[in-house]
Amino acid sequence: MINELQLISAQKSFGSKEVLKDVSFTLKTGDILGLFGANGSGKSTLLKILFGTLKATKATLTINGSPISQKKIIPEQYIGYLPQESFLPKHLKVRDVIPLFYSDGDDQDAIFRAPFIEKIASKKAGVLSMGEIRYLELLLVANLNHPFLMLDEPFSMIEPLYKEKIKEFLFSLKAKKGIILTDHYYTDLLDVTTSNVVLSNGFSSVVYSVEDLRLQGYIT
């Protein structure tokens, strides 16, 4: 089944400061949308609005053509979200973390059988490398049943081996989900994205290449 998420004219102000003035895009199953923007451009704000944890000043959000209230996004499990901050309980071993997310044995096995997981299963989450943490967290969130997935800084400060493994996983995942990625490691994003949007001065613009990112002032 092909699902479609559409965001129309999202706006967000904090007091007199307009962070988002007019942001729009469409995301379908099979899409990997890259979200670019300088620090303070509103990327994380936009993801929180989409996830329903931050109320938009104004926005229209539809899924498969039907308007969706922000309040329904989490309870209806429309969008999975991997934030920048790690959410793993550091005192637990990886093999004890996985059942916290998946009670079904087959679902747990899908995580345990993923590449590299067996070798870290007996480690506590608090001693994992950045790459191991992000890869495990991605597996935990992405294997849930949400039709859409958002990843905030999935490539930041992680080892090249895990960058490549995450990219491989995202390519396989897009067959059943629409995915939004944001990261300052823009070359890693461009390796996997099928379309791209840059936020600048509160507005969204479609970009197609590194040169477009330069023209938008995102890179020099």
What pLDDT digit, counting tens, does each position of 149-208 carry?
999 999 999 999 999 999 999 999 999 999 999 999 999 999 999 999 999 999 999 998
Q: How confident is the model at residue 212, as a pLDDT? A: 87
Helices (H), the chain: 43-51, 94-101, 105-112, 117-120, 130-142, 160-173, 186-192, 210-215
Per-domain boundaries in the chain: 4-88+148-215
Neighbours of 78 (CB within 10 A): 19
Strand order across the 17-28 sheet? 66-67, 58-63, 4-14, 17-28, 203-207, 195-200, 32-37, 178-182, 148-152, 79-82
- Give dist(CA 132, CA 162) in Å, integer: 7
Output the pTM of the full model: 0.92
What is residue 53's predicted lDDT score, i.e. its pLDDT? Answer: 92
Q: What's residue 138's pLDDT?
A: 95
pLDDT at 54: 93
Ranges of the chain whose pLDDT falls below 50: none
Given the candidates 3.40.50.10860, 3.40.50.300, 3.40.640.10, 1.25.40.10, the CATH classification of the domain at 4-88+148-215 is: 3.40.50.300
